[in-house]
């Protein structure tokens, strides 16, 4: 087995190893996983593939770190110091991680720099900054006496990450869990083998106590085994709704805890008073960025019938002008989709939408200049009814629906007529009206005259977009249990 990726111009450690309990170890089996470049469809590396025996070792290490190790007993300042060393190491290796991510997921270097070097650093640095200010313990005077309230770490956490953001999710999920005092088994997507091996190397350099962190980029069988493992106290998942339902079934018998950040079918409501050029500046990247492989992507564009044709043509022209190409070309805006199944899924939904009566205004195909790779053009569909499958189901690809509305009440009803509720945008010049619309949209976050979400404040979904919150102090406290210690004044004395 190859033990480096020199040919890829990025150094990735431990290709023939696994990172369990804070150190590189030999795998329990000789199983291998092929890392496939989505740009060329070629195998660019072979890595060790974890087995259930490796999963058992990771859980045992995390369990011992929690039950007998120093990590949960450390002060918050001590945990911040070690996590800061991890963040220092990751920041030192950002260029390598961005290149590795481009090889394994097709993310353009410029996208990696925005999401990882920009947002990722901001998120984990903010978590480190606010953690010492959180009240993990406080005394309260009650009508009957005094109570001590403690926020104690939940226990070993299985953090399941997706291929569309393995580095930024370190700041949104893993660092908060560690700061709360929980050992973490990081379970990246199997498509994130290169990036997360660099992350594991950073963990080793940071010097965590034994057992606190493991990294297993496992496939479905081992992932489900980890979720079902009785030694795991909490599952923190970023993923799809069907996967979340499977997780909940697997942890039900042990009444396991879960925090679920799931998919969306986010609506962008555009009112008639907007300047369209201003809207396009954020609507285009907010809907088609990273080929739509973003949970908060604005995949439904809602516009009045009066401006419908104008908006459709403007968005279509903007999509058609996006440069698709080699992720290592710094002028590339969109690379390929990360996995073949995503390309096939996009093709399926475009075909289904056409059968149901929608029209492809632009895109809808693999770009003709590429005969290899999982490339797919940004696609805008018009004539879409909100009842169509393409408007109701998350595609996780660059397929966007333009849906007309009759009035603002109708727009809000369409936005809310979804099983999802993760994000939304309202484009409206009238501030009072914009805030009113935003308050009526049933979603975990709404942006006004912008796309995206704030990643330093609590973020998460409602309905089938999940529950629990990431980021901000709430994102750290998500990994704690509230404990009451009665000091005086029992109800039995009243």
Of residues 197, 163, 196, 169, the one with CA closest to residue 259: 169
Q: Where do the domains of the chain lie, and which CATH numbers do they carry?
A: 6-262+465-482 (3.40.605.10), 267-457 (3.40.309.10)
CB 456, CB 474: distance < 8 Å: no
Tell me how many degrees the CA angle 413-417-418 measures, rounded to the nearest 5: 150
Strands 379-382, 359-362: pairing is antiparallel
Q: To 10 degrees, the CA torsion angle through 82, 87, 93, 97?
A: 120
261 catalytically annotated: yes
CB 268, CB 244: distance < 8 Å: no
What 3 state SS string does the chain have?
CCCCCHHHCCCCCCCCCEEECCEEECCCCCCEEEEECCCCCCEEEEEECCCHHHHHHHHHHHHHHHHCCCHHHCCHHHHHHHHHHHHHHHHHCHHHHHHHHHHHHCCCHHHHHHHHHHHHHHHHHHHHHHHHHCCCEEEEECCCCEEEEEEEECCCEEEECCCCCCCHHHHHHHHHHHHCCCCEEEECCHHHHHHHHHHHHHHHHHCCCCCCEEECCCCHHHHHHHHHCCCCCEEEEECCHHHHHHHHHHHCCCCCEEEEECCCCCEEEECCCCCHHHHHHHHHHHHHHHHHCCCCCCCEEEEECCCHHHHHHHHHHHHHCCCECCCCCCCCCECCCCCHHHHHHHHHHHHHHHHCCCEEEECCCCCCCCCCCCCCCCEEEECCCCCCHHHHCCCCCCEEEEEEECCHHHHHHHHHCCCCCCCEEEECCCHHHHHHHHHHCCCCCCEECCCCCCCCCCECCCHHHEECCECHHHHHHCCEEEEEEECCCCHHHC
In order along its 494 residues, the chain shows pLDDT tens digits of 333 344 578 999 999 999 999 999 999 999 999 999 999 999 999 999 999 999 999 999 999 999 999 999 999 999 999 999 999 999 999 999 999 999 999 999 999 999 999 999 999 999 999 999 999 999 999 999 999 999 999 999 999 999 999 999 999 999 999 999 999 999 999 999 999 999 999 999 999 999 999 999 999 999 999 999 999 999 999 999 999 999 999 999 999 999 999 999 999 999 999 999 999 999 999 999 999 999 999 999 999 999 999 999 999 999 999 999 999 999 999 999 999 999 999 999 999 999 999 999 999 999 999 999 999 999 999 999 999 999 999 999 999 999 999 999 999 999 999 999 999 999 999 999 999 999 999 999 999 999 999 999 999 999 999 999 999 999 999 999 999 999 999 888 86
Of residues 419, 388, 164, the one with CA closest to residue 266: 419
Task: State residue 350 phi and psi, 5-degree precision.
Answer: -65, -45
- 433: how many CB neighbours lie within 10 A of its CB? 14
Q: How high is the pLDDT of residue 43?
A: 95
Q: Cα separation of 476 and 208, whole Å?
A: 18
Q: How high is the pLDDT of residue 492?
A: 85
Q: How high is the pLDDT of residue 493?
A: 81
Give me 147's structure tokens. Answer: 């109570």
Q: Report the chain's C-alpha Rg in angstroms.
A: 23
Tokens 């393995």, residue? 166
Q: Cα separation of 28 and 53, whole Å?
A: 6
Q: How high is the pLDDT of residue 1?
A: 32
Strands 466-467, 257-261: pairing is antiparallel
CB 46, CB 31: distance < 8 Å: no
Q: Cα separation of 54 and 217, whole Å?
A: 11
Q: How high is the pLDDT of residue 9?
A: 86
Q: How high is the pLDDT of residue 4?
A: 37
CB 473, CB 130: distance < 8 Å: yes
* pTM for the predicted model, two decimal places: 0.96
Tokens 């911040």, residue? 80
The catalytic position among 204, 261, 377, 478 is 261
Q: Bridge partners of 237?
A: 160, 260
The catalytic position among 202, 291, 295, 471 is 295
Q: Cα separation of 46 and 28, whole Å?
A: 16
454 catalytically annotated: no
């Amino acid at each position: 087995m190859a033990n480096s990726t020199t040919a890829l111009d990025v150094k990735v450690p431990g290709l023939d190893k696994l990172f369990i309990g804070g150190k590189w170890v030999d795998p329990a089996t000789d199983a291998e996983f092929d890392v496939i470049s989505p740009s060329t469809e070629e195998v660019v590396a072979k890595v060790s593939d974890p087995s259930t025996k490796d999963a058992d070792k990771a859980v045992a290490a995390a369990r011992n770190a929690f039950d007998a190790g120093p990590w949960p007993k450390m002060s918050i300042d001590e945990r911040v110091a070690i996590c800061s060393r991890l963040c220092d190491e990751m920041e030192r290796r950002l260029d390598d991680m961005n290149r590795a991510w481009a090889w394994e997921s097709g993310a353009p270097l410029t996208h990696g720099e925005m999401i990882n070097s920009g947002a990722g650093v901001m998120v984990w640095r903010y978590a480190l900054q606010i953690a010492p200010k959180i009240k993990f313990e406080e005394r309260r005077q009650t009508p009957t006496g005094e109570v001590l309230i403690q926020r104690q770490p939940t226990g070993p956490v299985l953090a399941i990450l997706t291929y569309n953001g393995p580095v930024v999710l370190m700041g949104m999920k893993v660092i908060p869990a560690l700061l709360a005092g929980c050992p973490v088994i990081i379970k990246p997507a199997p498509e994130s083998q290169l990036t997360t091996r660099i992350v594991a190397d950073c963990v080793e350099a940071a010097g965590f106590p034994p057992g606190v962190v493991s990294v297993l980029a496992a496939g479905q069988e081992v992932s489900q085994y980890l979720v079902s493992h009785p030694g795991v106290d909490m599952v923190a998942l970023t993923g799809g709704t069907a996967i979340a339902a499977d997780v909940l079934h697997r942890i039900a018998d042990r009444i396991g805890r879960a925090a679920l950040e799931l998919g969306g079918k986010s609506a962008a409501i555009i009112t008639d008073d907007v300047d369209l050029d201003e809207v396009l500046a954020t609507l285009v990247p907010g809907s088609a960025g990273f080929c739509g492989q973003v949970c908060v992507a604005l995949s439904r564009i809602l516009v009045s019938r009066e401006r419908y044709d104008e908006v459709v043509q403007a968005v279509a022209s903007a999509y058609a002008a996006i440069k698709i190409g080699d992720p290592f070309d710094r002028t590339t805006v969109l690379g390929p989709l990360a996995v073949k199944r995503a390309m096939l899924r996009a093709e399926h939904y475009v075909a289904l939408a056409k059968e149901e009566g929608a029209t492809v205004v632009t895109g809808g195909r693999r770009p003709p200049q590429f005969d290899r790779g999982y490339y797919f053009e940004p696609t805008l569909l018009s004539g879409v009814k909100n009842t169509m499958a393409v408007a109701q189901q998350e595609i996780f690809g660059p397929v966007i629906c333009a849906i007309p509305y009759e009035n603002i009440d109708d727009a809000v009803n369409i936005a809310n007529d979804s099983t999802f509720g993760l994000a939304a945008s309202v484009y409206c010049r009238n501030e009072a009206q914009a805030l009113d619309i935003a308050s009526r949209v049933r979603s975990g976050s709404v942006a006004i005259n912008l796309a995206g979400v704030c990643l330093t404040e609590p973020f998460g979904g409602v309905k089938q977009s999940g529950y629990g919150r990431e980021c901000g102090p709430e994102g750290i406290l998500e990994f704690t249990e509230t404990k009451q210690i009665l000091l005086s004044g029992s109800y039995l004395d009243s």
